[in-house]
Structure 1
Amino acid sequence: MSHAQGSPHAAHRAATQALPYDPYAPHEPYGSLEPHALYEPYEPYAAPAPYEPPYESPGACDPFGRPQLPRQTTAPAGLYAPGHALPEDAAALDDPEPGPPGRGAARRAAGRRRRPGTGERAEPLRRLLPQALVVAFLAGGTSAFIASDKAVQLSVDGKPRTLHTFADDVGELLADQGMTVGEHDIVAPGTHHDLASGDRVIVRYGRPVSLTLDGERRQVWTTARTVDGALRQLGVRAEGAYLSASRSAPIGRTGLDLDVRTERTVTFMADGRERTIRTNAATVREAIEQAGITLHGEDTTSVDPQSFPREGQTISVMRITGGEEVKEESIDFATERHEDPSLYKGTEVVVQRGEKGVERVTYALRSVNGVKQKPRKISSEVVRQPRTEIVKVGTKAHPASVQGTDGLNWQSLAQCEAGGRPDAVDPSGNYGGLYQFDVHTWHSLGGNGRPQDAPASEQTRRAKKLYVSRGASPWPVCGRKLHG
């Protein structure tokens, strides 16, 4: 056996030529059939240190002045792997030529001494050539395979793991891992970033949070995995705040409903005093209790007690006292007017006089901080119903004239009695109109209401009727004008 064929490295290469490549197989010690040895750089065995016997021999020396020692029967330590036999030509270890001692020198000396012929050299070469070709092929394919393989670290929501991949970029790596990312997720570096061995890829999934912040509800997204992280990410001041969930509570991929009430400064004005507190209360009423203020009876606040207290808000407490008051009030009657063809036009006769009703009304009396407020009607009861007034209205046409009166000077009489004014009233208030009728006489002639309210033509017509029945006597002073 030649030295090249019997070396440990050659034996290892020959043993590993037919093994399949597995880049993730565990590393074994030298001497095993480790595939990684196929692409590890070859490093020849280091030359052993010169052998030094444990004693000095006074024998002869070689041409370089080294002591001539007895011939060794075993290889120096480190020259061959344990368990391998010495080469058949053990004398090859001796190196008579000048040069440093070592395994390479021994091989050269053995080669020079043996000098095989052409036939002897060709046989080992023919045996080694196929093996060398297979090793070269496997080494080339393994190198390309190893160059494409990358060891990267993938951290998903803070959980890192190292994996091997042939992906060219981050997006391909995530696709290989069956991971889908959306617009609310974070991928660093980006999905189009090229991958190299040793890279680190971070993925943080977005989580929906239904956040009610100080009474205002909104939908937000966060990549934080806990309530505390989400609050920091959203910029929410959590010191002194009320949280519906613990700050250490986890936020799953499905999200979380979170109610946050931050601490606010609120001022109350009550009983002539001003009180300012810091509170995270949900309602004004709750904040009032925290301020040590008690509401009694109908006491209330300047804003709705169930409203949300805002930062810097000033709220007045209103002390309310009051009672009830009952009053009887009149109810106006209605008037019905019915046409009567037996009465002349302009004539109205009251058939049924109207009467007012009576209503009992209860009012709430209230004083706010000592100031009386307008009474508020809270109930009513009808004690007596009103009675409707019924009036007959004439529709009969008036006669064109009154017999025996058409030749009289009614204009002069009206001028004398009332200065020609139909609405004239005497100083006593008992007589009115062009002809100064009293109310009783006016009604007896079929007139309605007051004479001064009737049209001038109606007043003249009724004055003519009065003249027919009584002559000029109703006008003792101006009656002579009728014939003037």
Structure 2
Amino acid sequence: MGNSQGSHRAARGSGRRAVETMEYGERRDHGEYGDHGGRRGLGAAGEYADHGERGERAPDPYAPAYELREARLPRQGAGGGVGDGRGGRAEARRAARRRKGAERPEALRRLLPQALVVAFLAGGTSAFVASDKAVKLSVDGVPRTMHTFADDVTELLEDEGVEVGAHDLVAPAPGAALASGDEVVVRYGRPVVLTLDGQRHRVWTTARTVEGALRQLGVRAEGAYLSASRSLRIGRAGLALDVRTERTVTFMADGRERTIRTNAATVGEALAEAGISLRGQDTTSVPSGSFPRDGQTVTVMRIRGAKEVREEPIPFDVVRTEDPTLFKGTEVVVRAGEAGSRRVTYFVRTVNGVRQTPRRVAEEIAREPVARRVKVGTKEKPASVAGADGLNWSGLAHCESGGRPGAVDATGHYGGLYQFDTQTWQALGGSGRPQEASAAEQTFRAKKLYVQRGASPWPHCGGRLRG
């Protein structure tokens, strides 16, 4: 503004000085100012004439002829002078015309450049005033009013050294034409690392405060937790902001349902806000350090646990040994097996009163097991027994034991198909107990007994042998 006004004043001052110079120069060139006190003045013929001591001013060359006539004529004495008066007057007029004709082109030559300067200054001032604009520029909230010759917004920002990037806001848009009275607004973008309800985002905002950024980003902040004050100013470098909006969370604990509104960062914090405490091994259905979601239902699990010690049997092994004295299919138990035992410690847990599957935590051997030893016959079975073949041995077996080789009577003294007692069985060459032998060996021993004693060993069922 100051520069343009100074330019106007300089132009107007230059014009006045140019006019004043021309007028002053013209008066000086025309010899308007004479030399008084007896100095020389400009004569009628263009030569210096002596006016004497009276100091008379030189005659004006542009004065009317009748005024010049007396002034330019040489003085004559009483007795006459140089030529007659009429010839002298004519000569004076001619000299004046010649002088005037020579002086006018010279004056025009001096006036023309000065007139052109005045015209240029006047036209430049008009163009200067027409291209000058008064605009308001607001950069990041700092307004300035200025005069500019810029034609558009881009040129204005370049002139003022304002650099903008992809995340900055410029209104009107760059390239828009400028007119006097316009307002140009520049807002710089600021990076914000926003953690919203546990989710991390990197965003840009042109707001200068936290509250403005929340509005611009559309974040619902009523009742929310903010890691920074709403009024905090955001610098060009940006900031990190943690926002936890208010959510509805329901807790199921001790048979009751509790619903709260919270902006807690973890389920554990929300649980404390609900007035629910965990004791011992109590836990929740979701990790206590997880982020509580809106509408989430969390179950509190009351856990009680105890240790139980149980004695469990250890099965014995069976060791089989071949015996060539026994018929094939015959097995004789030499030593009965004995099961061992171990003490096992379990941790038994109940969740909200419901018993869970016990978890084994320790064990120790209480008694070692004893292996069972068995002799296995490898001797070939006899084909027949003379005097006993052809009898109804299946009928006898069905009558004595129901046809079951391992049958044992109620007293425990008789066993097998034919209900041998152990003493008789071993006397016939059998090993162990009769019910442990194969059906074929039992029939073979029964035939041998029949040859020795007939059907008398089977007083109730012996008649079946021939029936």
TM-score, scaled to structure 2? 0.61
Matches within 5 A, 1:375-390: 376-377=358-359, 379-390=361-372
> For residues 163 and 197 of structure 2, what CA distance do their matches in structure 1 show?
37
Which of 335, 343, 346 is equivalent to 1:359?
343
Q: Does 1:467 align with 2:451?
A: no
- 1:424–1:396 Cα change, 3 Å: closer
- 1:217–1:410 Cα change, 3 Å: farther
Quote the sequence identity (%).
44
> For residues 224 and 240 of structure 1, what CA distance do their matches in structure 2 show?
21
CA contact (8 A) 2:286 2:298 kept: yes
CA contact (8 A) 1:417 1:434 kept: no
> For residues 240 and 176 of structure 1, what CA distance do their matches in structure 2 show?
43
Measure how far apart 1:464 and its partner are: 0.9
Q: Deviations over 1:143-201 (max 9, x none)?
A: 8898888776554433455584757673995699483523x44444444x343344544
| Consecutive unaligned residues in structure 2, runs of 5 or more | 29-61, 66-96
Question: In terms of Rg, which structure is larger?
Answer: 2
Which of 110, 113, 126 is equivalent to 2:109?
126
Q: Deviations over 1:407-459 (max 9, x none)?
A: 334664367437985579589596777556679988984589966xx8xxx41
Aligned residue for 2:310? Answer: 328
- 1:306–1:168 Cα change, 3 Å: closer
Matches within 5 A, 1:26-41: 27-28=5-6, 32-34=9-11
> For residues 419 and 63 of structure 2, what CA distance do their matches in structure 1 show?
177
> For residues 167 and 450 of structure 1, what CA distance do their matches in structure 2 show?
123
> For residues 157 and 119 of structure 2, what CA distance do their matches in structure 1 show?
31
> For residues 127 and 442 of structure 1, what CA distance do their matches in structure 2 show?
170
Measure how far apart 1:467 and its partner are: 2.6
Q: Does 1:212 align with 2:233?
A: no
Q: Deviations over 1:100-128 (max 9, x none)?
A: xxxxxxxxxxxx99999655443333223
Aligned residue for 1:25? Answer: 3
Aligned residue for 1:181? Answer: 165
Aligned residue for 1:77? Answer: none
Deviates more, 1:210-219 or 1:290-299: 290-299
Matches within 5 A, 1:78-117: none
Measure how far apart 1:276 and its partner are: 4.7
Matches within 5 A, 1:84-483: 119-133=102-116, 155-160=138-143, 164=148, 170=154, 177=161, 179=163, 181-182=165-166, 184-191=167-174, 193-198=175-180, 200-268=183-251, 276-301=259-284, 303-313=286-296, 315=298, 322=304, 324-338=306-320, 340=322, 342=324, 344-345=328-329, 347=331, 349=333, 351=335, 353-364=337-348, 366=350, 368=352, 371=353, 373-374=355-356, 376-377=358-359, 379-392=361-374, 394=376, 396=378, 398-399=380-381, 401-404=383-386, 407-409=389-391, 412-413=394-395, 416-417=398-399, 435=418, 445-446=430-431, 458-468=438-448, 471=451, 475-482=458-465
What amino acid sits opposite 1:239 in the alignment? E
- 1:296–1:172 Cα change, 3 Å: same
Q: The residue matched to 2:442 in structure 1 has which SS?
A: helix
Aligned residue for 2:85? Answer: none
| Consecutive unaligned residues in structure 1, runs of 5 or more | 1-22, 45-79, 90-111
CA contact (8 A) 1:170 1:189 kept: no
What amino acid sits opposite 1:207 in the alignment? R
Measure how far apart 1:389 and its partner are: 2.5
What amino acid sits opposite 1:229 in the alignment? G
CA contact (8 A) 1:414 1:420 kept: no
> For residues 126 and 481 of structure 1, what CA distance do their matches in structure 2 show?
176
Aligned residue for 1:10? Answer: none
> For residues 459 and 175 of structure 1, what CA distance do their matches in structure 2 show?
121
Q: Deviations over 1:67-95 (max 9, x none)?
A: xxxxxxxxxxxxx99xx99x969xxxxxx
What amino acid sits opposite 2:364 in the alignment? V
> For residues 155 and 440 of structure 1, what CA distance do their matches in structure 2 show?
124
Measure how far apart 1:244 and its partner are: 1.3
CA contact (8 A) 2:388 2:450 kept: no
Root-mean-square deviation (Å): 5.2
Aligned residue for 2:33? Answer: none
Measure how far apart 1:246 and its partner are: 1.7
What amino acid sits opposite 1:196 in the alignment? L
- 1:247–1:422 Cα change, 3 Å: same
CA contact (8 A) 2:392 2:466 kept: no
Aligned residue for 1:7? Answer: none
CA contact (8 A) 1:331 1:386 kept: no
What amino acid sits opposite 1:28 in the alignment? G
Aligned residue for 2:49? Answer: none
Aligned residues: 387
Measure how far apart 1:248 and its partner are: 2.2
TM-score, scaled to structure 1? 0.59
- 1:196–1:407 Cα change, 3 Å: same
Q: The residue matched to 1:407 in structure 2 has which SS?
A: coil
- 1:165–1:410 Cα change, 3 Å: farther
Measure how far apart 1:205 and its partner are: 3.9
Deviates more, 1:322-331 or 1:237-246: 322-331
CA contact (8 A) 2:406 2:435 kept: no
> For residues 121 and 358 of structure 2, what CA distance do their matches in structure 1 show?
104
